Structure 1
Amino acid sequence: MAQNAWAETALNPLKIVLDAQNPRIEVAGDADQDEIRLKLLAHEDVVKLAIGIVEFGGLMPGERIIVCKENRKYVVVEGNRRVCACQLLLKPELVPEKFKKRFPIASQELKDAIKEIKADIAPDRDAAEPTITKRHTEPGIERWRTTAKMRRASKLLEAGYDLAQIAEKLGARHSVLRASIREYRLLRYVLDLGHRVWSQNELERLTDQTLQTNPYTRFFTLAGVKEKLGLSFDEHDHVTTSLSTDVFDQYMHHIARCFFIPIPPNKKPWANTRTTSEEVFASFALKKDGLHFSGNDFVTGGGGVVTPPSGGGGVVSPSGKPASGSGRTNKPKPGAPKSAKASTFFEKLICTVDDDRLIALTDEITRIQPADFPIASAMLLRALFESALTYQVRKAGKSKELNKKSNGRDVGLQTLISFCANSQNQIFFHKRASDALDAFEKAGLKEHLDFIVHGRWIEAEAAVVETAARLLRPLIAHIVEGQDHDMEEESA
């Protein structure tokens, strides 16, 4: 639809309807406004945004929201966080009890400044989609997290669009969209088990937009997992199974609990990207009477709850028992599976951080080997290394300091390495990170990768690329796997 079909107006935030279809949050389509506000406060930094509005004395210039008219009401399709913050500043009684002490108080002057906010009126949601996509894929507007992107694609599919239409709207590849939709459906499946199996606190954790979903969704790509679960997807990419619903629900709940729900003493989920499918399934016991709670604790098939064994040591499974293979003194039983082979390149690397560049590079570098593609391997390794360091600098909040070092020029890899290796910059807290960067430089491997990237492709040698990978793999894994990686030293 032509852009001139849009209109401009100024609206009272209290008369604008917050969007239940907002991909940032997980709510039912018929969720009321109080529930939506609570979700935005809990998961989308609305308190911080409101404090910023108070400090500035209003909304920043140019911050126009986008609305469309549905059922004779204006619904905000872009700018839900801003509208929510303004609503709560204008009408403090709307602030949920648990946020009242943290939420700022607006002066009358501020209320006068935000009692009407500028809005663009889109003819409908469909017309607004390209603009919304552009805003959230470019700097300046807070980007959608992985779960929000997954949810948005899935909701468009539910609305009747086919994958080709969604791909065009979102500017994404067909294959990437399908994978994203299926990953969301796997997450949505365990969410839909609801209070039958999850406590309220657990449900809040599962709908938190900062939740790391990659370890969970990656599990279903491991060899034998889909077969064990009888898992497949129908023509609309909904989850289906050849198992009975009760058995499948128990498996899915167990897997989700392993990867998402923290257990004592370290308050982290039991499973991570290194947990094997054998370990996850070994800790599962089928309950004949189905899933149920005992208080706030999930009762496992063995009747235990999620508690570590006394004395500490070893990996604890969700049943409270040491996970198979976690004891260091246990000898393998006859006929037990052989230990997995160490990585030659990056075939086991998993990206668990919410960074599109790192996710894409990780996906590609796991598919190749230097022996077969020395040039491509070298280029991908250099790109992954540089992107990982850039991400780490940004995460440490030191991007401005780094840019000053480059005097306004593009930051080169050498500058990036030197900046990260300097302990005074506090980019890493592990000394081994600096050691790895120093070893990489001293070995002259950066120059070798530079030569290949800048045109001397014929000099790409698989053995040299593998050596560079061996030196950098612990550091890269430490960054892209969410820093649960201990930066173990790898044998030469």
Structure 2
Amino acid sequence: MVTTQGSSRKKESAIILGDQVVSINRLHLDPQNPRHDPLAGDAEVIAQLCNAEMVAELAQDIARRGALSPLDIMGVIPVVGHPGHFVTVEGNRRTCALILLSDPSRAPTTALQAQMRKISSSTKVPNPIKVHVFPDRAAAKQWIDLRHLGLQGGIGTREWDADQKTRASGDSTRTSSRANTLALAVLDRLSLLGKLTAAQREQVSLTTITRYLGTPGVRAIIGLGSANELIYTHDAAEVDEALLRLVLDSIVSQASGGFAVNSRSGSADRVGYANTLKKEGIAPTTPLPSPSAVPAPVAGAASASIPLPTPGGQKRSARNPANLRTLFDSSFLVKHRDPVLLRLRKECLELQLEDFPFSGNYLLRAIVEQIMVLFAKKRGKYNSNMTDDALTQTCAAELKAMGTSGKALGVINKAAGSAATPYSLHSLGHAVHGGSIPTRQSLRAHADTWLPSLRVMLDAL
């Protein structure tokens, strides 16, 4: 037993600590919960949680089960001056869901009120519920921190990694488990290939990727032959790049705001997005003889084209870059939404160099220059009076300032140091004006030479 301040109120304030059973109508939401900025009271907290924390989905699941998880107990503290009433300091989402199931009129919108009435009318809402009563917020804090602040050197909650989650999902048919298996496999593959960094993966919403990969039209366009496992219908390298673009578009915001891949999309929106990848030349175009299971990638094999086996046990050989008939292939990704750059990239993937070498020469010069202009603008170093040499030198200096090294810096440094460099803007322009006759082989060589520098600049946009 504990007694709050003020001897004249000892009888009123005597609180039984520890595990207790409490009625829902005596629970109040925490306006100081870390899930949101401080709010004024229950009504504001309910509106915020419903808007941002998927409370409706949680309420539906609680109603379906008819109980809260016995593995989780909510933590509460007494409301001073209101004996028998408590503020939930751990379990605010669950408390909010229970409040709305118990009293749907407290939902912030008429649509949600109707939804809560429908859910609660068809089941028995758990009430009262088990809680753990702490004397005050300070006493509860150490346990809340232990639960929510990560591993903390081994003392905090250690979450399952992607592999463990996949194994745990087993044969469950719920979206949060089995349906996520394909998305998890995709993220694992892109990570092992070195295409997706650990920091990027942390930002990815698994359920958002699951929504897209769970849409048959998206899978058909992107080259996946199964809703549950990695079965590729097209060249593995091409499918991998399409999947990478899908994942990156879920975490890289567009110039106009928002994300091209998002959780609020409908089926038509998702198929429309996949068709956009097709129009931009990102979707795979090289079909396999038959759908095949993709082999496990080798960790760190970032630039390798991982071939799929063909019927009869023979492996397809990885594509030789020298045999490419266009300036770039679909692995040349552009996340920036500049319309000129996107159009140039599309033509780089489509123009047949053997048939149109002069056009290819001009196209290569144009896309290199556009990327450098956008990069210089991003770094605040661009002006419209720059010569080709000045633009190249500026970009080289900025790459060096960013800490770029190796071939990515060496290539542009060489172009910046001498206009006579075969792949410099000046030399490419010389061919455009008839000073030399470009060939597919020379254009492919120049494009491959520029590629490391272009990738770094594109990543910086």
Give the structure-2-normalised TM-score.
0.35
Bigger radius of gyration, 1 or 2? 2
TM-score, with length taken from structure 1: 0.33
